[in-house]
Amino acid sequence: MNAFTENRDSLYEALRQQQLVEESLRVTPKEYRIAVATLLELAFKDCGGARLAAQVLLSLYDGDCWQADLAGVCCGLDGSYFHRVLIAMRGRAMLMQEPHSIIPNGERLFRELAEEWAYLAKPTPERAL
């Protein structure tokens, strides 16, 4: 095997690995929309998972202002909701759409969500004063 063949084979392997990663992350707009709607419904309920769902959604919406407790999300949500979290994260990353933009009345619903969970917002220099 010569250097050219080795480099070519390495390139093909890197491309194949990249393709496998992209395939594993693939998500449809419908899957993303359902995940966001399901988590939004949970976030407005009066239950333990509501805070975690709200943190995930608000962090996907605006990560500068909102932070998700990932350990809590991993341990505090049942498998179905955790699966929806992973779909929502993949949707945000792969489809490059903010979660409020893919559901009906998303702007209003996310504003209400932010108001309801305002105490979870990350402190900013303005808020610290």
**9 neighbors 75 (Cβ within 8 angstroms):** no
Q: Which residues contact 39 (CB under 8 A, 6 or more apart)?
A: 53, 56, 57, 81, 84, 85, 88
Closest to 82 in 3D by CA, of 45, 43, 52, 114: 52
Q: Give the pLDDT score at 9.
A: 85
Q: Give the pLDDT score at 129.
A: 39
Spans of the chain, pLDDT less than 70? 1, 124-129
- What is the rounded distance in angstroms from the CA atom of residue 36 to the CA atom of residue 42? 10
Q: Give the pLDDT score at 128.
A: 41
